[in-house]
Structure 1
Amino acid sequence: MSSQRDRWAELTGGQAGEDYARRFERLAESGQDIHGEASFCDALLVPAARILDAGCGTGRIAIRLAELGHHCTGVDVDRSMLAVARRHAPAQEWLHGDLTHLDSLGLETGFDLALAAGNVIPLLAPGTEPEVVRQLATVLRPGGLLITGMGLDAEHLPLPEPTVTLTEFDHWCTEAGLTLRERFATWAGDPYRPGGGYAVSVHFRSTA
């Protein structure tokens, strides 16, 4: 996420890491599958793919993808979330950084997939969204995937109203050299229908 007064920081004060982790621990203990995003991504990847988890939070998805054999780098601006990720998987690469300035982190480009799950895009600082999409596109190899999950109404967001429309998002992607391949309503792959409150989008970087 962005450090420029991003919506996530306004909601949490940058101190949500432990509470966020406990929430998913409780879900797992109740028998719910908490690995839907990782399973979705894994199904689209070749073995041992390079993945950038942008806005990785406590590392839940990146840790699972690493368990599935992929090479994952997590980036987040929230130090409290990264502290949890580093505690649970100290051998993985966790970077503190602003998604509007990915190019300042010294990342080796050529990622097979960049992931922005967990409402990362709607919770960015207002006005930074196009630049974040551009930065994510830049780190991908030709043909690499950008996968995003975002709420489109208040029911699917920790906010009173939506901040991004799919029309806007697809426009930012097009400007960044990305093309929409598929769109779903859930991480389980349910079909997306216009007007739906949540969208999982798969864009790819042009090979031209």
Structure 2
Amino acid sequence: MARNPEHARGYADRWRRIEASGQDIHGEARLIDAMAARGSRVLDAGCGTGRLGGYLAGVGHHVTGVDLDPTLIGVARQDHPAARWETGNLAELDLRDEHGQRELFDLVVCAGNVLTFLSGAERVPALTRIAQHLAPDGRFVAGFGPGRGYPVGRFEDDAASAGLRVQQRFAGWDLQPRGEGAEGDDEFLVAVLTQA
């Protein structure tokens, strides 16, 4: 944000152009929708413009989205008013209800390489905060390209440190299986995690 204050606007415009061209931009959201009972509480962690959370709110889920960039949150509020959008750092995530109780979510989704954008020092705190916001039977779904400086093994170690357990691993949002061992190191990761 500091290096390029116009980045957020360009990012939002890019997604609008992609959607206007007829390309499918809701694959992640459809997967999350299929995993959730109608009316589930969903946290879109690193929500950006609200593309994913807006879709989920539109099909009947109770969505809260959090992103560090206030410009992107402004776009989300404008384009997807059915959801709640908050500006905040995932490493400091602390959502509270009107009674001061921590909000718990049936599903937390972190798509779009968000975890790779966090600094190394922010990753375990962010994963810990996400774990604290999971309902007892809730699930956390994270998707990112490990070639972006966050190796899968490191992510899994960080998740364990944060009180999360990897339940399933896939090579994409279409649930293709991941390779085993070294052959899977360069594949995209979609991981489903629960509280340990």
Q: TM-score, normalised by structure 2?
A: 0.89
Whether contact under 8 Å (1:17, 1:83) holds in the other structure is no
Distance in 1 (CA, whole Å) between partners of 2:86 and 2:35 is 25
Distance in 1 (CA, whole Å) between partners of 2:92 and 2:162 is 15
Aligned to 1:121: 115
Unaligned ranges ≥5, structure 1: 1-8, 154-161
Q: Tell whether 2:137 aligns with 1:146.
A: no
Cα displacement string for residues 88-141 of structure 1 (whole angstroms, at most 9, x for unaligned residues) = 1234211111111112x4354221011111111110123110110000000001
1:66-105 correspondence runs (5 A): 66-103=57-94, 105=95
Aligned to 1:203: 193
Whether contact under 8 Å (2:112, 2:143) holds in the other structure is yes
Whether contact under 8 Å (1:57, 1:81) holds in the other structure is yes
Q: Tell whether 2:176 aligns with 1:190.
A: yes
Whether contact under 8 Å (2:164, 2:195) holds in the other structure is yes
Whether contact under 8 Å (1:16, 1:81) holds in the other structure is no
Q: Tell whether 2:156 aligns with 1:170.
A: yes
Whether contact under 8 Å (2:54, 2:82) holds in the other structure is no
Distance in 2 (CA, whole Å) between partners of 1:77 and 1:121 is 12
Provide the aligned C-alpha RMSD in A: 1.6
Q: Secondary structure at the match of 1:132?
A: helix
Aligned to 2:54: 63
Of structures 1 and 2, the one scoring higher in RCO (CA 8 A, sep 6+) is 1
Whether contact under 8 Å (2:172, 2:190) holds in the other structure is yes
Aligned to 1:156: none
Whether contact under 8 Å (1:185, 1:196) holds in the other structure is no
Q: TM-score, normalised by structure 1?
A: 0.84
Query: Which has more helix, going by share of residues?
Result: 2
Name the amino acid aligned to 1:120.
V
Cα deviation, residue 44, structure 1 = 1.0
